[in-house]
Chains A and B, each alone.
Chain A
Amino acid sequence: MPHTILIVDDEPGIVVPLEFLMKKSGYTVLIARTGEEALQWIEKKTPDLILLDLMLPLCSGFEICQKIREHPQWKSIKIIILTAKSRETDMAKGIALGADAYVTKPFSTHKLVEMVSEMVNNIQK
């Protein structure tokens, strides 16, 4: 069974190429445009990896991060924060709140795909 990737971002400009790339890499792709939607997907499908934007309407990516890590059953979900916030303090906060990686936009799609595959391959399915 292919790994599931959840893309949480409200900007279609980035969602479109990401979705395309992830599908091409052979993953099942879920899309959420708000924090609410994201949490619903997580409860329903428990994805293997989440590509998480920080600046979301209503609730920030940090909060989603915190909520995921509050649940022991979601401990194995990998979280990659993808954001335009590039301050060091933001990165430290993201990692402190349980993200596995912090990638600032713009990023190399090639490297992102590599990172994703490395992370999901380490998950014992």
Chain B
Amino acid sequence: MKTKNKFWVFALASLFGLIISITLVTYHLWGQLEPDQQTVMWQIIKGYTGYLFIILILASSGIGFVLDFMVNTYIIPLAKLVDEALVISTVNPSHRIKLEGAKNIVRLVEIINTNAERMQQSDSHEKKLIVKEKAQLEEEKNTLAAVISGLPEGVVICNVEGQILLYNKRARLLLSRNGQTDDDHHISARLLGLGRSVFGVVDKYLIIHALDEMTDAIEQKKENIIYQFIIPSVNNVLLRIQAIPILRDNREMYGFILVLYDITQIVRSAAKRDVFLESLTVMSRSSIGAIRAAIETMAAYPDMQALEQEHLQKVILDESVVLSRRLDRVEKKIRSSGESQWPLDNMRCSDLAEAVKKKAEEKLEVSIILEKGAEDMLIKGDHLALVYTICFLIAQLKETQGIERFVYRTQKDDRFLLIDLIWPGRVLSLETLRQWQSLELMIQGEGLPLPMKDVLERHGAEIWPQSESETESQTESGAKACLRLLFPSVSVATEKKRQWRPRISLENRPEFYDFDLFNQPGQIPDLDNLPLAQLRYTVFDTETTGLNPSGGDEIISVGALRIINNRLLHEEYFDQLVNPQRPLPPESIRFHGIQPEMLEGQPTIENVLPQFQRFAEDTVMVAHNAAFDMRMLQIKEAPTGIRFINPVLDTLLLSAVVHPSHTDHNIEDIAQRLGIRVVGRHTALGDAIATAEIFIKLIPLLEQKGIRTLKQARLSSKKTYYARLKY
């Protein structure tokens, strides 16, 4: 009932009550009057009935007007005020009340509006603060992730269940087979992945043991808890792993960090050295023992017979030869193992040259001309120490010989890398150079407090002066001198192995982390009722020899990526060519661009599918026109024994659900509709990426249609027309 009507019902009821009370009072008063008084009254009433009636009418309409005024200026505005104030305080803080009514009510409205204004202002200020804080947090998170991603050590962060929440590039390199998936001849599914179990890459019992040890240490209130162990990893790499617990304020462990170090080289060279030293001492002792015994015997018995003497001499000769050979061999081996305790790294000669030029020209006011040569070569060394060594030489040459112009040249032969400093003038004496070598590498208060000798020694380098004419035919007038630095050259094998460089770049936000996974509930048995945005997906595509799965067409390529927490993980992909063991129809090459020779030596489907199944474990599989790809996989069920039981979604069908009026649901058209740029189509991985991007955009559109769970998505797909297209 409306406020106004309510009020009038109340007003009429009150009036009715009033009339009844007046009647009762009048009746009672009438009974108490004397009969003659009653007669007089009756006569008066009868005589003035018209007047009395008029008074009654006037009185009741007066009351009516007052009441109406009250209703319109107080009652109704007050009721509206309540409603509108509620709107302000609940759904729409920007709402303002406009009311006419009594002065006090209008005043009240003004007060409420002013307060609302103030509230809104402080609210929006607070919101801005929150947004700012959030952005800051996000930035810090990204910085942290980027830094971790570029660390030279491998880092894997897990929750207590062993679920991987973050890992960096180095960890992937150390824990995944071949590091890269594009290696031609090996299958390399990445089993290191966000949300996956760490047990897939590190032995479960070692982790459990580490967790137990750490828990014990936490209970014993120990500080700086680190548990270390060593595991052999893929590619014959030996890893030292440090497990460090992540503790809450109450010292409860909610996760742990694994830091991975590649100790293969260290262990190998240490072991080699041990063996060398052992064999050297043992063999030397026995040989020298024999020589000594023989000589001592000869000395003790000068008059021994010629034959006996000859015997002993032969012993000495033989043992000396053995000793010489052994020394040669051991030394060669130690050299070839070549690992020094100093951290030497490969760098490009051109980088070194540029650094020397910059530093020398800035600090020493000399001019350096970099001569073209072998600057593409790598040099193994400590960058800073080498820069200072060469600058120090330049500084000394300037100071003692007054030389200000130098040519800097890098050359290479089979065994050595040569760095020459050339200047017009006399050749330096070795004596002077020897003195310089014992000086510390300080240039105008800056440098390394190490003698040059030590730096050269640790690089296995030599230095000497020579005349420039000894190396080049001299045509110009005036003699030229040269200081030559000689380094052992870096072999190509070690070059390749040591290519990896830490890169820290905040622009390249790593995709393979998700701190929100900390709050993941774990494995839920009933995927069907989970919202689409929370599920994990493997989006995949296959390239085939043709379009007829049951007619003998075979898979030649599988590409896949994963989506976790609504994010496409570009770094965790599966990309594998497959040898179809049948000829490739030439007309199909036009579609997939794969040449027959690219498939030679590739693994067969029997080897690829188990890897792919592990990659897709515990996820919903998504493909465009999934029926075709799933058919391809199903046909291989019998020969491989691999069965994909994952739930499946099809972007083609889902697109039809979202845009039923459109008839084109191929990848290009959908992508265009959804504003996605497609790159690298018609490769399995390229198509998988496009499909994944489409799928991510489809999820909110499905939600608008009321399709939120996996079950709803599956059922609505089923209903669409395209679902009837069966291969």
Contact = CB atoms under 8 A, between A and B. Distances in A.
Contact of A89 (B331, B434, B486): B486
A63 B434 CA distance: 9
A60 B461 contact: no
B434 A60 contact: yes
B331 A86 contact: yes
B412 to A, nearest CB: 13
Interface residues of B, number: 24
A60 B434 CA distance: 9
B464 A93 contact: yes
Contacts of A76: none
Contacts of A89: 416, 460-462, 486-488
Contacts of A59: 431
A92 B335 contact: no
B323 A93 contact: no
A90 B488 CA distance: 11
A66 B327 CA distance: 30
B624 interface: no
A96 B462 CA distance: 11
A102 interface: no
A63 B327 contact: no
Contacts of A87: 335, 460, 462
A93 B460 CA distance: 12
Contacts, number: 49
Contacts of B341: none
B486 A106 contact: no
A42 B481 CA distance: 26
A101 interface: no
A18 B486 CA distance: 32
A96 B488 CA distance: 15
Given A106-B323, A106-B327, A66 B488 contact: no
A113 B431 CA distance: 32
Interface in A43-102: 59-60, 62-63, 66, 86-90, 92-93, 96-97
Contact of B486 (A60, A86, A93): A93
Nearest to A107: B324
B415 interface: yes
B416 A63 contact: no
Contacts of B488: 88-89
B439 interface: no
A63 B437 CA distance: 14
B468 to A, nearest CB: 13
Nearest to A65: B430
A63 B431 CA distance: 7
A88 B462 CA distance: 10
Contacts of B324: 106-107
Contacts of B460: 87, 89
Interface string B444-467: 000000000000000011101110
Contacts of B434: 60, 63
Interface in B534-576: none
Interface in B447-502: 460-462, 464-466, 470, 484, 486-488
B320 interface: yes
Contact of B464 (A86, A96, A106, A107): A96
Nearest to A106: B324
A58 B123 CA distance: 85
Contact of B429 (A60, A66, A86, A107): A66
A62 B335 contact: no
A66 B426 CA distance: 13
Nearest to B470: A96
B66 to A, nearest CB: 118
A21 to B, nearest CB: 15
14 contacts: A60-B434, A62-B464, A63-B431, A66-B430, A66-B464, A86-B328, A87-B462, A88-B415, A89-B461, A89-B488, A92-B415, A92-B486, A93-B486, A106-B327
Given A93-B464, A106-B320, 18 more contacts: A60-B430, A60-B434, A63-B434, A66-B429, A66-B430, A86-B328, A87-B335, A87-B460, A89-B416, A90-B462, A92-B415, A92-B416, A96-B464, A96-B470, A96-B484, A97-B430, A106-B323, A106-B324
Interface of A: 59-60, 62-63, 66, 86-90, 92-93, 96-97, 106-107
Which are the 6 A-B pairs with shortest beta-carbon distances? A89-B462, A106-B324, A63-B430, A93-B462, A66-B430, A93-B464
